[in-house]
Amino acid sequence: MPRQILVTSALPYANGHIHLGHLVEYTQTDIWVRFQKLRGNRCLFVCADDTHGTSVMIRARQEGRPEEEVIAEMREAHITDFSAFDIEFDNYGSTNSESNRQLCHEIWASLRKADMVTSKDVERLYDPEAQTFLADRFVKGTCPNCKSENQYGDGCEKCLTQYAPTELINPRSTLTGATPVPKTSTQLFVRIEDLHEFLTEWTQNSGALQPEIANYLKGHFLGDALRDWDISRPARYFGFEIPDSPGNYWYVWFDAPIGYIASTKDWCDRSGGTIDDWWRNPGCEIHHFIGKDITYFHTLFWPAMLKTAGFQLPKKVHIHGFLTVDGEKMSKSKGTFIRASTYRQHLDPSYLRYYFASKLGPRVDDLDLNLEDFKSKINSDLVGKVVNIASRCAKLLAGQSLSASYPEDGGLFAQGAEASERIAAAYEACDYNLAMREIMALADRANQYIDGKQPWMLRKDPAKKQEVQEICTVALNLFRQIAVYLAPVLPRMAEQTGTLLSAPITHWDNAQQPVVGAAVNEFQHMMKRVDPEKVKAMVEDSQQDLAKTEDAAPAAAAPADSGEWLEKEPLVGDLCTIDDFVKVDLRVARVIEANHVQGADKLLQLTLSLGGDVRRNVFAGIKSSYSPEQLVGRLVVVVANLTPRKMKFGLSEGMVCAAGPGGKDVFLLAPDSGAQPGQRVH
């Protein structure tokens, strides 16, 4: 029976253009959606522009035009970019819509009814020139700890100290350059701690999250009380005013995810049905695709909102890593911060879709776009293996037809048909890398068949005409089979293949039966080899784009890619350099006391000796694997220079090192038996 599936990608922010880093996610999602549709499932893919927040308001003010005009212009640019890369949404909406406003009111009323909303007086920095309160990333100054200059408002990138923006020395607004002033405002908060037990169960046991994400949440958030979420912003702010709190506006992180539901409603209004058919239907699977930088919101705050308002929870949150280029963060100065529009001026978007697919797996690993590897992989896999099958054989049968019955092929087509479910399982699990390897193995076998038969040589003998037809019938059916399996990644090639062989690709099962007797049309160019000069020109143009942007933009403008979606939460798998790593001081410690922690399900309280009179109090989430009695007297490895962390149970002054998948399988790192407390571990 076909599945009913609702799929979303994170909403792109309306203050910046789409770049290659964004396209990792939209390509990953689009491939999954196309696969589901090809399998015959009812799959709806919705997204929207994320339009509210300070950045859009400031940009509109600087450009002297209404916010609505700015976001409308950017929405059209986003849609153009998505279309060029074959990202096909069923509905692409806007969070600045009436449907989103109505749903915000509905969900807010649910939170109020559940008594989950509270208010607090908060002191924040205020820009007197922009007349707005400043988010942490819009404040820079001198670190109060190490005195490094030009540091953001929530933490120093040099010494890694965390602090409040009000603690910065000589703070300045990045919006206007003005000196911000402390100002108190009354803001609204949502108490998601009220749903702590539910969130723990959902994140740890529902199967909705990748194991590394579940463990991350357990280690970083669920061991403590969940903090109240600041959900309002005082005027001036571009967004929806809160109906029962005049002068306050919902922070973008309230109305942005609700945009998923609003975009679904827009589709229903146009196509039939209601949002309850999708968001309150237990038979509907909801799948979110997001980057790891917004893990917290989609795995704790958003499920809390959905639960309270009576909506379905996600069946799966698919979280991916960041994009690097040639092993480094995307760089504007090096020309590797590449906009989608710049890429498509020089290179075929199909190249990028396939390259990303060949690198994407089911884990939260970062993906590297190595430009040399990019060129060689496209030239080898797509041009040298896949398209080569069609270009060599279709030309020999152009204007003729495939054989009336399928010829003997030594079991090649049957082998390809048998691979169907393995490839499908890889797509389903978002293990595109595995799927591409399976498909390229089929292409290798098809090319070996053609090389062995050499139909271009047989063609010279008129008596071999039928044999040539049979060889090409086999080869073109193997090519079509591969095109079916690649259709989620390369929809244009699938369409071209259907035209070439007079047999459109409409379903995954098209790979199970060969096509016979169909007319073979003139072969049309499918894909060229990657031109190194075009890659070089793309990088150079990206550098030029930066120069133009910097020349034209106001000096105090926010970065083009900054977005209200981004917060500086701890990141899953965030990159660090070897210089960062060597700062970690690992020491041998002896457990001299171990106790249960009242009110904590997973924590034990340990008193550690690091030699002499040096003692450390540490809370460790290892209760599922160890009893206090097992630990007393044991040597462990501890991170000795970790900033102390205030927990509701007390102060934790270090971290005991352990490894394992979690649950009962948590294994303490044990130093050699001859080690002494305080000894450094190398």
For the beta sheet containing 4-9, the strands, ordered from the edge strand earlier in sequence to the opposite edge, are 91-94, 42-49, 4-9, 284-291, 316-320
Contact between 379 and 443 (Cβ < 8 Å): no
Q: How many CA atoms lie within 13 A of 473 on its CB side?
A: 23
Question: DSSP letter at 293?
Answer: G
Contact between 256 and 243 (Cβ < 8 Å): no
Transcribe 98-136 into DSSP letters. Answer: HHHHHHHHHHHHHHHHTT-EEEEEEEEEEETTTTEE--G
- Local structure of 658: helix, strand or coil: strand
* Strand residue runs (E) in 129-192: 132-133, 139-142, 151-152, 169-173, 181-190
Residue 190: φ, ψ to 5°: -110, 130
For the beta sheet containing 169-173, the strands, ordered from the edge strand earlier in sequence to the opposite edge, are 151-152, 139-142, 169-173
Contact between 564 and 55 (Cβ < 8 Å): yes
CA angle 203, 645, 570 (to 5 degrees): 45
Q: Is 472 annotated as a binding residue?
A: no
299 to 206, 307, 517: CA distances (angstroms): 12, 12, 53
Q: Is 146 annotated as a binding residue?
A: yes
Locus of tokens 């399988």: 665
Residue among 584, 659, 570 nearest 622 (CA): 659
Give CA–CA dist 110/117, Å, rounded: 10
Question: DSSP letter at 188?
Answer: E
Give CA–CA dist 593/606, Å, rounded: 6
Contact between 618 and 654 (Cβ < 8 Å): yes
Q: Is 430 annotated as a binding residue?
A: no
CB within 8 Å of 676: residues ≥ 6 apart = 588, 611
* 162's tokens: 């965390």
CA angle 604, 606, 610 (to 5 degrees): 155
CB within 8 Å of 354: residues ≥ 6 apart = 377, 378, 381, 382, 436, 486, 489, 490
Q: What share of the chain is helix, strand, coil (3-state, %, to 5)?
A: 45, 20, 35
Residue 246: φ, ψ to 5°: -55, 140
Q: Is the link from the previous residue into 65 a cis peptide, with omega within 30 of 0?
A: no
Q: Is 576 annotated as a binding residue?
A: no
Q: Is 183 annotated as a binding residue?
A: no
* 280's tokens: 């309150």
Question: DSSP letter at 464?
Answer: G
Residue among 435, 438, 213, 176 nearest 321 (CA): 213
141 to 368, 518, 560, 565: CA distances (angstroms): 33, 70, 21, 23
**Which residues contribute to the annotated binding site?**
143, 146, 156, 159, 332
**Which residues contribute to the annotated binding site for ATP?**
332
**Which residues contribute to the annotated binding site for Zn(2+)?**
143, 146, 156, 159
